[in-house]
Amino acid sequence: MIHAHPALPQPTRFIDPTVLTRISSLELVARTVVEGFVAGLHRSPHLGFSVNFAEYRPYRPGDDIRKIDWKVFGRRERFFVKEYEGETNTSIHLILDCSQSMRYGNRGIPKLEYGQFVAASLAYFAFKQRDSVGFISFDEQVREFVPARGSIGHLNTVLHTIERTSAAQKSNFLKPLVAVSERIRKRGIVALISDLYDEPQRVMDGLRHLALHGNDVIVFQVLDPSELLFDFEESAQFIDMETRAEMHVVPDFLRQEYRKIMKNQVAFFEKECQKDRMDFALLDTSQPLDHALFAYLLRRQQLY
């Protein structure tokens, strides 16, 4: 369990999420994040990779010359690089909430975008670890489902799918998560990236479904700082992004109690997750993405 708290490595080592938004390619974002993150780690003995031959491909400038198969050169007088199919240690399914509420971003980037960064980074990172990666997006129902695979080309599929994700509907946790849990055949890690804005009990029921199928569940609750602090100055007409319901709010009147309620809510999820052996991490959209990666890494360590 990891929190976005100041005890973690200082963000100077990592790139601010708002800076990442300037990078158009999600793959590049993921690579930047992950490589920055990895550079700070010791070489891990757990970084296994496969030896199963996958295919040959012509040498391209820039390829590591150590990877050139000299035997084939002897036969064919051409440079071929030997590609191996990774032997997957585990699989990770990234489940991204793409309901309307995820569009919110008052300070920094929208939660959805942050979630996309997190998902992409995790996907890239997992791929680096030779894990197979799958991606699911949902709101009221499952919108996208990319099953987990370990091939090189699959990462691009996953990243494209993540990039394509947009928010349109209300969220409903139970139904899509039940559906997802049924569709994941291989047990592995399931990472849910969401603001968890549904009836708490319903959210927990959905998560339990995932866990009951033998998955190791990591819950990333992505929240904007404004949602946590409610630091609005002036009174305003607040509109619910999903239901379009309206409410006149004088922030001064509610702030204290709202903060308390939010704190209790987060504590509730944390406690419930702990109870069901799930990991819970609160992600603040103003925090660098590496927290999510740490969470993933720690979870993976526990598995092997």
Q: List residues binding other proteins (CB under 8 A).
A: 100-102, 104, 111, 195, 197, 224, 227, 232-243, 245, 247-258, 261-262, 265
Nearer to other proteins, 79 or 230 (CB): 230
Nearer to other proteins, 240 or 276 (CB): 240
Dihedral of the alpha carbons of 152, 153, 155, 160, in degrees to the nearest 10 = 160
Closest separation between CB of residue 263 and other proteins, Å? 11
Nearer to other proteins, 64 or 233 (CB): 233
**Which distant-in-sequence residues (6+ apart) come within 8 Å of 35 by Cβ?**
none
d(CA 200, CA 37): 33
Nearer to other proteins, 70 or 253 (CB): 253
Is 234 buried (19+), middle (13-18) or exposed (0-12) by CB count in 10 A? exposed
Structure tokens at 129: 């670890």
Nearer to other proteins, 157 or 265 (CB): 265
Closest separation between CB of residue 304 and other proteins, Å? 37
H or E element in which residue 5 lies = none
Is 64 buried (19+), middle (13-18) or exposed (0-12) by CB count in 10 A? exposed
